[in-house]
Amino acid sequence: MDTLKQLIQYRNLSQEEMKTFVEMMMNDQVDVSLKVAHLVALSMKGETSDELSHLTQSLIETTYKDRPYIEDSICVCGTGGDHSGSFNISTTASFIVAAAGLKVLKHGNKSITSKTGSIDILSALNIHTTPIEEATDRVNKTHLAFLSATETYPIMKMLQPVRKSIPTPTTFNLLGPMIHPYRLDYQVMGVYDESKLDTIAEALYKLGRKRAIVVHGAGGMDEATLSGNNQIFEITQNKGIEHYTVHAKDYGLQTASNDELKGGTPEENKKITLDILVGNDQGPKRDVVVLNAALALYVGEKVDSIQDGVTLAKEIINQKEALKILELVGGTVYDNIR
């Protein structure tokens, strides 16, 4: 059956049909309007975990037949799309996680729904993204490499006209963190759409993550926040999937509205990140970074509990270890900020 007709009839696609779907989306001879119709139909039907895992695997295979692997590798990244205007929480947390000894391969992009995406703040910090062929060496030396999604998947540029033609989030908004070019051991994936959490968790389990956390932040953000109960789906290959909530106050952290986490331009967000890592900021922005870093430290098996992750993240900031990682990867820290 034709894949578009099948999707319109709310029938799920098999692995082979999903491969055909991806080939069509990546074919520059196919009209953009037909691609838009397919993508909207899939998003309206709603993706199953099998479809998401097959779609992810098929997209990865367009570029990487044999994916590289590094032991203790982790990515901390959200889907975007929450329109919160927050500062770069996961990017800031990445310096802490790397300082703890995990191999952080941060997959990011330029801003789509906010003023400053992860690539935008890196430019402000004078940190360059790492070409994929240099990433293993880089992360082994510094514990941190930033990968640009447009560089790791140049073929995805074919989708830009399609995505720009659709004003609402689609399936492809979910896939950025999932199509990581490395075979990751660990992952923390923030999701803007609470209704997708269990499906994404099942897909990550099927994709073979050793341990992962899928998080939907209180107030609708794609990262853990300080404003209420954060929805967590924890994945381990030997135990399966567990669902629970995390509240900042239970770990000795401040509670704060999501409005207090807002960022701005790349230069403004750069100052926020540096103020946190230098120790000048002791407010909610620091605490939300600590919470998200704690989730990564826990899922990456550096600590036995989220509470221990909070304690370790604070120590790393206080001892300027995260700041040292920032400088090690080429970041600029001005004396007047110290």
Q: Which domains does the chain have, with CATH numbers?
A: 3-61 (1.20.970.10), 73-328 (3.40.1030.10)
Band (pLDDT 50/70/90 cuts) for residue 118 is confident
- The upper half-sphere exposure of residue 273, i.e. CA atoms within 13 Å in the direction of its Cβ, equals 34
294-318 tens-digit pLDDT: 999 999 999 999 999 999 999 999 9
- Alpha-carbon distance 99 to 93, whole Å? 10
∠ CA(318), CA(324), CA(134), 5° rounding? 140
Q: Is the pLDDT of residue 336 over 50?
A: no
Share of the chain above pLDDT 90, in %: 81
- Strand arrangement, sheet containing 73-78: 144-148, 103-108, 73-78, 186-190, 211-216, 230-236, 240-246
Q: Is the pLDDT of residue 204 over 80?
A: yes
Task: Determine the pLDDT at residue 337.
Answer: 54
Please name the residue that has the structure tokens 């075979």: 183
234-258 tens-digit pLDDT: 999 999 999 999 999 999 999 999 9
Task: Determine the pLDDT at residue 205.
Answer: 97
Residue 194 CB contacts under 8 Å (≥ 6 apart), including other chains: 216, 220, 231
Look up residue 327 and give its two tokens: 């400088």
Model-level pTM? 0.94
Q: Is the pLDDT of residue 269 over 70?
A: yes
Task: Determine the pLDDT at residue 296.
Answer: 98
57-81 tens-digit pLDDT: 999 999 999 999 999 999 999 887 7
Residue 221's identity, in one-letter code, is M
Please name the residue that has the structure tokens 């959200």: 78
Task: Determine the pLDDT at residue 155.
Answer: 86
Helices (H), the chain: 3-8, 15-25, 32-45, 49-61, 89-99, 118-124, 132-142, 149-152, 160-164, 171-175, 197-206, 266-278, 284-299, 306-318, 321-328
Task: Determine the pLDDT at residue 112.
Answer: 47
Look up residue 36 and give its two tokens: 């838009």
25-41 tens-digit pLDDT: 999 999 999 999 999 99
Band (pLDDT 50/70/90 cuts) for residue 335 is low
Helices (H), 165-305: 171-175, 197-206, 266-278, 284-299
Task: Determine the pLDDT at residue 113.
Answer: 45
Pairing of strands 240-246, 230-236: antiparallel
139-194 tens-digit pLDDT: 999 999 999 988 999 988 888 899 889 888 788 888 889 999 999 999 999 999 99
